Amino acid sequence: MDYLVVDMTHGGLIIASELSKLPETHVYAWDIYRTLDESIIEKYSSSSLEFVDGNCFKEPKELTVVSPIHCNLQRHVDMTHHDAVKFILNHKINVPVVEVTGVKGKTSVVWILKEILKHKKPLVLSSLGVEVFDGTKWVKLKGNISITPASIVEAWKLAENYEIGICIFETSLGGTGLADVGVLTNIAENYSIAGNSSNASKAKSQIFKSKMVACDQESFDSKYIKYKENTNTFGILNNSKIIPDLTATNIKYSFDKTDFDVQLSHFKTISSGLIEGTFKLNTFAPAPIHVNNVLAAVSASVMLGISEEKIKTGLLQFKGLNGRTTIKELNGVRIVEEINPGLNVTAVKEAIKMMENIDDVAVVFGGRYGVTCEEIDENSVSQVLNGINEDTKLILVDELGKNVNKLLKRNSIYYNNLKDAVNYASKTNSHNILVVYRSNYSDLEKR
């Protein structure tokens, strides 16, 4: 079998290397973005793995083309990178798999599941790294890793010396088909991919290759209703025209712990058929977007047959996620942080909505460009900030804040440095400070 694997930048090197190990196989690897060093090419080149220019090489008569779904390749594609990962691992992973995709909330949902499923010794891949629970403690196997589908192969190989009971994989742009339960958190923004020839909702529909799927009700209604047979929906009742299969009601929001009821209606499970029921939950979920993330994780857990007791215990252990929504106290001032590399307009809206009914609020907004492939829409975010009550102090910071400041029609103040901006906000008699900042949380210079 001959393969042409496209895009060494986004995981193709791992896929090409694994395919080249198959018997009677020759792999042509196309570094379409020219990001590989000569040393890497030399290291991986072999009699069965050849690096080529895909536009001008001598093709065999029968060639299987493997390309990422976000690449607008001007030729027929036989397998996406997601498909190739399933092909490579399908007979190697012998434990249940959960894959989580979506526009927002992926990492948070994975970390909630990580707590709920801890007793099963999970292997966890997220944008924060690869971890396993060895029965007594979490072990970090790798810190800096992407969530391209090929990283699933890497994560599985890293954990080969551990006893794994379940896999939880965060995956960009859809699922591989390996999952017993796939989770689609939302399509908060249906951004374009593949040179505007496709979009996020089409790419993420790959998650429906999973045996069963938990999908946000709003996204399901607008994009995925044809997949109803193997799908459970989740959502907050007042956000959906149709009642989700798993619904949150009677929600009492709090910055520390939010209480709500969960109602199951004709809810599909892997081994118990359809189930009905209600139970009460409480966990860290200070706003609707956080409750929706919890519902995604709870849906997947119920589908897997996890007991109500284990779900409740796991949710009590979840305290939020560094780099997403975290809450701190500084000299009697509450600081709510939304520091996220994937911060977009929807996330800014949700963060500000979280503070709507709180008095004495200051908002610090800003961040950096080039943190992820998807940049933030300055005009749209300036409209969101213009809508903040004039009594709320607005402090802008860093390069993003500087550019947005030029578009605002309300009063604001600008600082170059995040720390200085927060210090200023804390001295304005504000008892609550919302920090909405576009950056990697691990960037210590900005902490």
- Give the span between the Cα atoms of 373 and 259, in whole angstroms: 36
CA distance 99 to 111: 12
**pLDDT given for residue 429 in this prediction:** 83
- Give the separation between CA 393 and CA 147, rounded to whole angstroms: 37
Percent with pLDDT over 70 in the chain: 96
Domain endpoint, select from 18, 48, 67: 67
Residue 155's CATH number:
3.40.1190.10
Residue 149 Cα distances to 101, 174, 182, 197, 273, angstroms: 11, 9, 14, 21, 30
Asked whether residue 219 is domain-assigned, the answer is yes
| Count of domains forming the chain | 3
Identify the pLDDT of residue 219.
Answer: 95
Q: Which residue has the higher pLDDT, 240 or 45?
A: 45
Is residue 206 domain-shared with residue 287, that is, in the same domain? yes
Pairing of strands 413-415, 361-367: unpaired
Are residues 336 and 285 both part of a single domain? no
Residues 330 and 313 in one domain: no
Segment 407-432, tens digit of pLDDT: 999 999 999 999 999 999 988 888 99
DSSP states along 179-239: -SEEEE---SS--EETTTTEEHHHHHGGGGGSSEEEEEHHHIIIIIGGGGGGEEEEEEGGG
Give the angle 377-189-398 at the CA atoms, nearest 5°: 30
Lowest mean pLDDT among 233-247, 262-276, 417-431: 233-247
Query: Do 146 and 45 share a structural domain?
Result: no
Kindly state whether residue 74 falls inside one of the protein's structural domains. no
Q: Are 347 and 325 in contact (CB under 8 A)?
A: no
| Predicted confidence band of residue 404 (pLDDT cuts 50, 70, 90) | very high
Task: Give me 229's structure tokens.
Answer: 């047979």
**Does residue 331 share a domain with residue 261?**
no
255 and 404 inside one domain: no
CA distances from 347 to 105, 184, 277, 437, 442 (A): 10, 17, 32, 11, 19
Q: How confident is the model at residue 283 (pLDDT cuts 50, 70, 90)?
A: very high
- Does residue 80 fall inside a structural domain? no
Read off the pLDDT of each residue in 351-362 and give the average, rounded to a whole number.
Answer: 85
According to the model, what pLDDT value does residue 321 have?
Answer: 84
Report the chain's mean pLDDT, rounded to a whole number: 92
In a domain, 86, yes or no: no
Q: How far is Cα 113 from Cα 253, in angstroms, rounded to an integer? A: 21
Nearest to 351 by CA among 261, 258, 438, 277: 438
Structure tokens at 367: 């961040």
* Average pLDDT for 236-254: 86
What global pTM score does this model have?
0.88
Mean pLDDT value across residues 352-380: 81
Residue that wins the pLDDT comparison between 274 and 73: 274
Q: Which amino acid is at 142?
A: K
Tokens standing for 100?
A: 């989580």
Instruction: Among 12, 45, 67, give the residue marking a domain's end.
Output: 67
Alpha-carbon gap, residue 119 to 106, rounded angstroms: 21
The phi and psi torsions of 317 (rounded to 5 degrees) equal: -80, -20
Q: Using pLDDT thresholds of 50, 70 and 90, give the confidence band for residue 27.
A: very high
- Percent of the chain exceeding pLDDT 90 equals 75
Asked if residue 339 is part of any domain, the answer here is: yes
Record the tokens describing residue 39, joined without a space. Answer: 């040393």
88 domain residue, yes or no: no
Task: Render pLDDT for 319-356 as a digit per residue (tens, 0 to 9).
Answer: 988 767 888 888 889 999 988 877 888 889 988 988 88
Structural domain span for residue 199 = 97-317
Report the pLDDT value the prediction gives residue 370, as an integer from 0 to 100: 65
Reported as a single tens digit per residue, the pLDDT across 105-118 is 999 999 999 999 99
Backbone φ, ψ for residue 147 (5° rounding) = -115, 30
List for the chain the helix, strand, coil content (%; round to 5): 30, 30, 40
> Do the domain assignments include residue 222?
yes
Residue 393: CATH number of its domain: 3.90.190.20
Residue 289 lies in a domain: yes
> 47, 67, 87: which is the final residue of a domain?
67
pLDDT of 445 > 60? The answer is no
